[in-house]
């Protein structure tokens, strides 16, 4: 078997790869923002001490974390159009799925971050006359975000890798871009190898940056 990478040029990258890369990045950013937002709400529900808030949040988080992501992607893609009565589209379905799925994982990260804050911080806020909302917003959550930032970023890197699973519903992500290029130029093996290499470069670079950030945060502490 002879590998031929001479087909790789700017026209191929611009015509097939960049579109998929852009969608993968956008999906990662939106899913991270939405996942952190809803995950924080779920974490607060689980830490509220109120059973009517804790129980449904725990069921949701544990349920989502127990199901493979690819199955959730397929469920949303097939069931949501049936429920709303019209096609949703692979890209929109992927965005909804990833936000809903990642919220469960970010919830556990944020819950650990909130629980890592010494109780004395909470009591100090209460002694100053702060309400629960003010205490959480101004004292606890900023510290929790700082403590959990390396873990949150690591989960985001994993999320970026997982975006390749939207291939199952036909969304045009980075992997789909390489696959389409491989079919058009008759070199699928080379394209899959290049896809793996690009994923490695991106994720390894981001992981290195997270490690450096983790060291800086440790020094600050």
Please tell me the distance from the alpha carbon of residue 151 to that of residue 185, in angstroms, as a whole number.
40
> Each residue of 112-144: pLDDT tens digit?
998 888 877 777 777 887 877 888 888 888 888
Residue 98 has pLDDT above 90, yes or no: yes
Per-residue pLDDT tens over the stretch 47-88: 988 999 999 999 999 999 999 999 999 988 988 887 777 878
* Predicted pLDDT of residue 147: 84
Neighbouring residues of 146: CB distance < 8 A, sequence distance ≥ 6: 217
- pLDDT for residue 34 is more than 70: yes
Count, residues in the chain = 221
Span 185-203, mean pLDDT? Answer: 93
Domains, the chain, ordered by start: 10-220 (1.10.3720.10)
pTM above 0.85, yes or no: yes
Instruction: Look at residues 170, 163, 173, 153 and name the one whose alpha carbon lies nearest to residue 69.
Output: 163
């Amino acid at each position: 078997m002879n590998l031929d990478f001479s087909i790789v040029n700017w026209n191929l990258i611009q015509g097939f790869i960049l579109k998929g890369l852009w969608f993968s990045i956008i999906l990662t950013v939106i899913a991270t923002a939405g996942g952190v937002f809803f995950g924080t709400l779920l974490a607060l529900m689980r830490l509220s001490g109120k059973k009517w808030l804790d129980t449904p949040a725990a069921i949701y988080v544990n349920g989502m974390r127990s199901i493979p992501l690819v199955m959730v992607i397929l469920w949303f893609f097939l069931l949501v159009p049936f429920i709303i009565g019209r096609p949703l589209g692979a890209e929109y379905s992927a965005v909804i799925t990833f936000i809903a799925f990642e919220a469960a994982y970010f919830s556990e990260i944020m819950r650990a971050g909130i629980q890592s804050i010494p109780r004395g911080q909470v009591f100090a806020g209460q002694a100053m006359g702060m309400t629960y909302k003010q205490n959480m917003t101004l004292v606890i959550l900023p510290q929790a975000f700082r403590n959990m930032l390396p873990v949150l970023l690591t989960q985001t890197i994993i999320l970026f890798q997982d975006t390749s699973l939207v291939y199952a519903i036909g969304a045009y992500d980075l992997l789909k871009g390489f696959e389409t290029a491989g079919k058009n130029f008759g070199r699928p093996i080379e394209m899959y190898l290049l896809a793996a290499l690009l994923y490695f470069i991106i994720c390894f670079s981001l992981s290195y940056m997270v490690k450096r950030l983790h060291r800086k945060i440790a020094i600050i502490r």
